[in-house]
Amino acid sequence: MPRSPLALAALATAAVPGLDARTVRGDDQPGDYDVAVVTAADGQLWEVRAPRTTMAGAALEAELELLESLHLYHEAGVLPFRVPRVAGSALLPEGGRAVVHQHIEGTPLDIESLRPGPGLAADLGRTLAAVHELPATVVEACGLPSYTADDYRSRRLVELDEAAATGRVPSTLLRRWETALEDVALWRFRPVVVHGDLAADQVLVDGGRVAAITGWSDARVADPADDLSWLLVAAPPDAVDSIMEAYQLRRTELHDPRLADRALLIGELALARWLLHGVRQNLPDVVTDAEAMLADLDEATREDS
């Protein structure tokens, strides 16, 4: 069962010596974690996170090691944004531990408000480029996954085969996706450190700039298009050029002429993954939602062709 905010506050006080919790509120975040924000007597805000499953607990342990390295890169001025830094932890009765860090202030990114120019859109591009410039060893040393370009293309093909087996993906979409995945030239990229699960609520904005990025449990060495796909799909079209221009200027030795094409494709394939999630977990509402979005995409791409 999910832990209550009060239970999480108790864990926070056990994890951080001297933390005098006065109020607490639940914080609904994606992933298999119970999260709450605790206000201490001195006004400091603390965030406590406890895994709900053994797998989530293992992912959290790898993430904590990564966060420590990322914090060092932030202090050195390499990363322009803050990352959570663990202040303490408390053992859980079922195994694993809850972790506590100072709550990072910021507002989740409103992607629809992005505008072209040197403001937040460009800052997002530079921010992602800074992540992708990190040495692969930062992730590999924590035991997180590392893939070659060919490995990653093979993983995408397996996912597509599984989605096709459901019989719920329009045939024209399947053919177009298969053609793209078989286009070896599209998948010639240098694997880099990626966040792996970026979404608007994990990008915190303050003063018109990216203040922090959270939720690093899916970090890996993989395709840089993974981190760009959600932005290129969801951002206003006139802001996309600012994102990509700033990204490309910040990267060194970037030889990936098909990066944007691949990112848009990955954005489309996310619908197949959403469908698979619904099928695997037996969630009829998710399946229905995915089918509707796939039908809309199929219609839109037919019109564009």
Task: Express as a percent the part of the chain with pLDDT over 90.
Answer: 79
| Class of residue 12 by CB neighbours under 10 A (exposed 0-12, middle 13-18, buried 19+) | buried
Q: What is the pLDDT of residue 305?
A: 56
Give the residues across from 172 on adjacent strands.
none
Q: Which of helix, strand or coil describes residue 120?
A: helix
Residue 30 has pLDDT above 80, yes or no: no
Task: For each of the domains in the chain, give its residue range(s) and CATH number, in order of start.
Answer: 5-104 (3.30.200.20), 108-304 (3.90.1200.10)
Q: What is the pLDDT of residue 303?
A: 66
Q: What is the pLDDT of residue 301?
A: 83
State in Å, rounded, how far the first CA of the chain is from the last one.
Answer: 49
Q: What is the pLDDT of residue 73?
A: 95
Are the CB atoms for 173 and 275 separated by under 8 Å?
no
Are the CB atoms for 264 and 143 separated by under 8 Å?
no
Q: In what order do the strands lie in the sheet with 203-206?
A: 107-108, 203-206, 209-213
Task: Express as a percent the part of the chain with pLDDT over 70.
Answer: 98
**pLDDT tens readout for residues 190-249:** 999 999 989 898 899 999 999 999 888 889 999 999 999 999 989 999 999 999 999 999
**pLDDT tens readout for residues 53-101:** 998 898 888 888 899 999 999 999 999 999 888 999 999 988 889 999 9
Residue 293 tokens, joined: 């979005």
Residue 168 has pLDDT above 60, yes or no: yes
